[in-house]
Amino acid sequence: MITVEVRFFGGLHLFTRRVRAEVERTLPVVTLPVGATVDDLLDLFDIPTGQDRPLVVINRFYHRDNVPLADGDQVQLMKTVVGG
């Protein structure tokens, strides 16, 4: 298992309203199986993984793709903003 720290910029409610209680209790720490990816993390929170996916920052580096996560990673999720 790997453990990552997850931060939601703007609050968790901006990303999803469907978080299992056992996951929400451990936030900001989340435990995932070895080999887990960003999409696995997003699926855990029922966050879309397609075009509507949030901007993902892992250890201060921006990622738009489904990349593997490692034990101890710090993950930040940011809603993308469109408009003017």
- Please calculate the CA angle 61-20-73 and round it to the nearest 5 degrees: 20
Whether residue 28 contacts residue 50, with contact meaning beta carbons closer than 8 Å, is answered with no
pLDDT of 27: 85
pTM attached to this predicted model: 0.84
Please, which pLDDT band fits residue 3 given cuts at 50, 70 and 90?
very high
Residue pLDDT, tens place only, 48-66: 888 878 889 999 999 888 9
